[in-house]
Chain A
Amino acid sequence: MNILLRKLLRDFWQSKGQFISVLVLIIIGVMCYSGINATYRNLTGSSDKFYTDYRFADLWVTFYKAPENAEDKVKSLPYVKMAAGRVTHDAKMDISGENAVVRLISMPDSKTDTVNDIDIKSGSYFTDAGNNQCLVEQEFFAANGLKIGDYIYPVINGAKVKLRVTGSVKSPEFVYTVRDSGEFIPDNKRFGIVYLKKSYEQAIFGYEGSINDLSVILNEGADIETAKNGIRDLLDDYTVTGVIERKDQTSNRMLNEEIKGLRSAGGFFPILFFVVAAAIIYITMSRMVENQRTQIGVLKAFGFSNTFVLMHYLSYSVILAVTGSLIGSVFGMFLGKGFTELENMYFKLPLADMKIYPDLVLPASLLTLLFCLLAGYNSCRKVFRIMPSEAMRSKAPVKGRKILLERIRILWKNLRYNWKMILRNVFRYKRRALLSSIGVIFAVAITFVSLSMYSSVNYMIDQQYTNIQNYDIKVSFSRLLNMEEIGVIRNLQYVEKLEPVVEAGVEIRNGWRKKDIAFTALVSEPVIFKVVDKYGRPVAPPDNGILIPERLSKELGLKPGDTADIRPYLPGKNEKEVQIKGLIVQYLGNSAYGSMESVGRIFGEGRFANSAVILLDGSEHEKQVIDRLKEMPVVSSVQSKSDSKENLLKNMDYMVSSLGIMILLAAILSIAVIYNIATINIFERQRELATMKVLGFKDNEIRNLIFYENYLLTAFGIIPGLPLGWLIGSYMMAVYNTDAYTFPFIAGAEVYLMTAVLIMSFTLLANLVLRKKMKVINMVEVLKSNE
């Protein structure tokens, strides 16, 4: 075996390019497997630990105002383990020269183990020295360059309140710190959490002895629906505005979605690479066995058993699998660490227990080995059929055969000789062509998915920020304003146009199916804040009914013409029946729409608004107008569209680079396949190519015989690859859709074209690498006998 092993190693060395390219695929496969799975474990492990250690809630109940003893009432319910009453309020604040919003949340005056507890990152918990102490969530703390002992000045009831920062903290409630589910990327400079002493927050908001938020931990095994309904009924007198369970909690849901995505990527990507590696191994080894028929015959003639010979050739796969798994696992560990840190740029989890997982090496290696052995065994099975005597005879000459295409005589007659040779060659080795297509098809699908995602997100941003939100500033009020009061803002300098908006939380119900959504009322013919259908065409908000997003209509089983029940989360409001007037598309958020008139019907109120959108007569005055608005006591927050768009675009860089990585992986797949197929092709046709060279064919004419075949194979892969990409892409986009946002799946002609161009250029690259191989074709080959 020792000598044979040496022979095998020399075989490797002779086809080292092929060996390395397959090895690279295996390494990438294993790397993805262990890296992505390690990231998955790091994130789930860290979040589970963080959630447990800091008593992350199971339920959040919000209401207008309830006495503190509501906490005790809830605690007395049989299925409740812990409950903590709090006061939470958003407040605007100027910091770092920007207009930020902070969520003020009350915490016990002295440190107790409470629900949704905080992890002190720097500084210390509240002390007895003064009431106006605050703890700042660490991302906001860092983004705004705060230090312990600094003062911040949120505006509460129109007055600036001076707070002294005593520490920075992290809460399991805000692992992913976004203001609400409509905002999908954190803006740590403009939104943050500030924790205050409970007594102090109650005092400044006029909530003495009262709370407006309860965080609840349930006993293990408690039924969530029972608990939700029980608590809601219990607190009914205090006008419950929302009951949110853990799986719907914004931060947790974002984290879980990412983890879910990682999990499927951790299975999907490695398999993809293993399949392609297996296809190449199959082709390479079939060829090796075919070319070494004589050697195999000799071995058998000397009395080596079938199994022995088979094992000998199988060790090629084994060596590939073992080397690949080892190297891949080592890289995977680094990848896992790096990837976790990358993910954690968004999910600021305490990664205390980031580990290396040696137990991931085993499944990765076994999986690799399985694929390699399957491919190897199937290609080497032929060894059994080779008789010692037969193997000593020379190989039968390659058969030329007519292909189906030749039936189309006009076409065939007009083909040049090189295309005839290429086509016959491709069809002669159909299996090889098919197997190589697999790699190309995968590469096409990955590229297509990446590009279509990019185009979809761009489309969405474009729709959202130019078609739907055509305004410059959105302003929210701390109370309901009548039209006269809004007129004051409309008359501000530089305000070109203003449209009042009503935004409220409602529960929409169709029979037993119900959902907490937002309700947005717009003016009858909105210009600067529109509602659109799936073609991007504006839809007028109806006076006597509502428009709902398509996704919601499916979820609730509602179609236009149906009626649904709506219950506003406002004190003393009852359920109203409304008609669904039409379906719309909403990319960010989940809201029903109606006109300002409809507000009266649903809410039983006259014309009022709690926010407004503003179009300026020039963006250069934005700052002035914002400053002016912030001075108004009724204004609770001001959002600049350009700021939120900018924040989104900034984060697009991350997306672009991850798409870049995907396309790089596609390139590796496709180049590895084409390179291998062509190498075998060149090897097997050395004699043909050498003859052509002797006959006076120019180097490029000979090269093109191989290169055009590569382009042809690539084209064959592109044709099924594009629809496959479309399927995967639309599926993935559908999976990414959540209550908070809808991704359209947009793949225009340019996505198809760009994918084809990219894939073709990968083949062009492979061809460039192959030029060197073509150079060494030796003309003396023609003088040798057929082996």
Chain B
Amino acid sequence: MAVNLVEVKNVSKEYVMGEVTVKAAANMSFCIETGEFVVILGPSGSGKSTVLNIVGGMDRPTSGEIWVEGRNIAELSDKDLTLYRRNSIGFVFQFYNLMPNLTALENVELVMQTSDSPLDAREVLNDLGLGERLDNFPSQLSGGEQQRVALARALVKNPVLLLCDEPTGALDYQTGKSILKLLNDINRNRKKTVVIITHNAAIAAMADKVIRVRSGQVESLEMNRDPLPPERIEW
């Protein structure tokens, strides 16, 4: 039996904005198993970003528990949350968020310096097809290349969980698919747990598990017996 890597239990999140209280998540529960490829699906405003923030250790829930590797990260101090983000999570963002001042290689090396047992930066970049672009600055790279650097940056510190926020959102169709392919390979070959947060329903087809979110609640949770290879996904 597979082990639960992440267990989200009855998580609620409220934002107080002036005089109104916005309920971004209401009593959400789900779990993610080690090695799973999970897609969290929902339209904008559904609460999926809140899930990303909370599972990624960027924010704490108003109530509920998030167990990751045997720790309830809802109770961690700011300092420990920083360490949690540093050691356990690999982030991939919609807009890449590379350091404009650092080359591709340096962007990857940047996070290596915060990691205890990093992989080899050049190797990871080579694997992702960036062997020729190591010394280029982000402004000299295409969107897809930038996203691959971002992927390398997330992978190099060998995180337990790869959290991807709309990884294809800023990319064209073909490039988007190639990124999905890479993520799929990373999941299958490196046995990394990958979580994609997206509004693109087509991506759900390649997932082991699909969590649909709507109005701050988990609407459905389904297992995919036969995930499609990314090449066959269309949108």
Contact = CB atoms under 8 A, between A and B. Distances in A.
Contact of A697 (B59, B82, B89, B93): B82
Nearest to A691: B97
B113 A696 contact: no
A401 interface: yes
B99 interface: yes
A696 B86 contact: yes
Contact of B49 (A397, A399, A693, A783): A783
B102 A698 contact: no
B95 A785 contact: yes
A684 to B, nearest CB: 10
Contacts of B111: 695-696
Interface in A129-154: none
Contacts of A691: 93, 97, 99
B76 interface: no
A736 interface: no
Contacts of B99: 400, 421, 688, 691-692
A498 to B, nearest CB: 76
B82 A698 contact: yes
Contacts of B170: 785
Interface in B48-84: 49, 52-53, 56, 58-59, 79, 82-84
Given A695-B91, A696-B86, A696-B87, A400 B102 contact: yes
A696 B138 contact: no
B234 to A, nearest CB: 25
A417 B93 contact: no
Nearest to B98: A691
Report the interface size class on chain B: 35 or more
Q: Which of B56, B89, B97, B110 has the most chain A CB atoms closer than 10 A to its own CB? A: B97
Nearest to B89: A696
A397 B136 CA distance: 14
B86 A417 contact: no
B93 A398 contact: no
B56 A400 contact: no
B114 interface: yes
A696 B83 contact: yes
Given A399-B137, A694-B85, A428 B101 contact: yes
Contacts of B86: 695-698
A290 to B, nearest CB: 15
A421 B82 CA distance: 21
B165 interface: yes
A420 B137 contact: no
Nearest to B112: A417
Contacts of A398: 100-101, 139
Contacts of B33: none
B46 interface: no
B12 interface: no
A397 to B, nearest CB: 5
A397 B139 contact: yes
Contact of B102 (A421, A780, A783): A421
Contacts of B49: 783
Interface in A663-717: 687-688, 691-699, 701
B94 A417 contact: no
A419 to B, nearest CB: 11
Contacts of A424: 101-102
Given A699-B82, A780-B58, A785-B170, 16 more contacts: A397-B139, A399-B100, A400-B99, A417-B106, A421-B101, A428-B101, A688-B100, A691-B93, A693-B82, A695-B86, A695-B153, A779-B59, A780-B53, A782-B91, A783-B49, A783-B93
Interface of B: 49, 52-53, 56, 58-59, 79, 82-87, 89, 91, 93-95, 97, 99-103, 106, 109-111, 113-114, 137-140, 153, 165, 170
28 contacts: A398-B100, A398-B101, A399-B139, A400-B101, A400-B102, A400-B137, A400-B138, A417-B106, A417-B110, A417-B113, A425-B101, A691-B99, A692-B99, A693-B82, A695-B114, A695-B153, A696-B86, A696-B114, A697-B114, A698-B82, A779-B53, A782-B91, A783-B49, A783-B52, A783-B93, A783-B94, A783-B165, A785-B94
